[in-house]
Amino acid sequence: MNTPIRLNTRDSIIEAAFVLFSRNPGASLSELAERAGVGRATLHRHFANRDDLVRTLALIAIEEMDAAADAASADAQSYSDALRQTLQALIPLGDRHGFLAREPLETDSDIAAEFKRLDRETNELVEAAKQEGLFDSGIPTAWITQVFDALLFAAWESIKLGESTNVQAVELAWQTLTLGLGATKK
């Protein structure tokens, strides 16, 4: 007999928040409580306010993205492959995490520290891929990392707007990252 897994109240609120805020980032906590199947008082027992909830969502998103990137790149044959596989793993998460890119999260010291760690790790990966010849050695690593992040966000938005599929967005982001936007010379 297959018994459905029931989430505890806190996890139900979190999952409902990811779904609701992904569709409507401006949704109210009342709407969230209704979606999660709890009362406002119950929601507030778990999260003092919207900022508290968004902070929790951001930390969960960072963990999920770390896990996806690590799993995707675990068997990579090169740093360049690891970078591509990381991009390929992160783009589908935009449906779940994309709304957080518009939240002012840098003011939270824990999240700011996580962003610094992620930036450092991405810089290290980009630098290693650069040493393999994937990128022009004259382009600053920090610039490439910022472009990587911007392309990730652009892919999330393109998928959200129905302009591309996950597969198309991965290919477009990778092509833009590695070849730029110029016309191919024949």
Q: Would you place residue 185 in the very low, low, confident or very high pLDDT band (cuts 50, 70, 90)? A: low
Helix axes of 166-179 and 79-90: crossing angle, nearest 10 degrees? 140
Domain identity same for 128 and 82: yes
Domain range enclosing 14: 1-47
Neighbours of 8 (CB within 10 A): 9
Residue 153: Cβ within 10 Å count: 14
**Residue 22 sits in the same domain as residue 71:** no
What is the spatial distance between Cα 38 and Cα 33, in angstroms, rounded to a whole number? Answer: 5
Q: Are residues 85 and 140 in the same domain?
A: yes
Q: Are residues 29 and 88 in the same domain?
A: no
Q: Over 90: is that where the pLDDT of 7 sits?
A: no
Residue 178 banded pLDDT, cuts 50, 70, 90:
very high
71 domain residue, yes or no: yes
3-state secondary structure 32-71: HHHHHCCCHHHHHHHCCCHHHHHHHHHHHHHHHHHHHHHH
pLDDT tens digits for 69-93? Answer: 999 999 999 999 999 999 999 999 9
Residues 112 and 159 in one domain: yes
Check which CATH number belongs to the domain holding 13 and give it: 1.10.10.60
Residue ranges in the chain assigned as alpha helix (H): 9-23, 29-36, 40-46, 50-73, 79-90, 94-97, 109-131, 141-160, 166-179
Is the residue at 52 inside a domain?
no
Token readout for 165 is 């599929």
Asked if residue 113 and residue 83 are part of one domain, the reply reads yes
Supply the CATH number for residue 170's domain.
1.10.357
27/90 same-domain check? no
120 and 148 both lie in a single domain:
yes
State how far the alpha carbon of 140 is from the alpha carbons of 81, 112, 129, in Å.
20, 22, 13
Statement to judge: residues 91 and 132 lie in one domain: yes
Burial of 129 (0-12, 13-18, 19+ CB in 10 A): buried
Same domain for 8 and 76, yes or no, is no
CA atoms within 13 A on the CB side of 70: 8
d(CA 168, CA 80): 19
Q: Are residues 88 and 31 in the same domain?
A: no
Nearest to 11 by CA among 50, 60, 49: 60
Asked if residue 150 belongs to a domain, the reply is: yes
Encoded tokens for 186: 């024949």
Total domains in the chain come to 2
Instruction: Clarify whether residues 69 and 42 are in a common domain.
Output: no
pLDDT tens digit sequence for 97-122: 888 888 888 889 999 999 999 999 99
Q: Is residue 113 part of a domain?
A: yes
Instruction: Say if 34 falls within a structural domain.
Output: yes
In a domain, 170, yes or no: yes
Q: Are 78 and 36 in contact (CB under 8 A)?
A: no
Taking a C-beta distance cutoff of 8 angstroms, is the pair 89, 173 a contact?
no
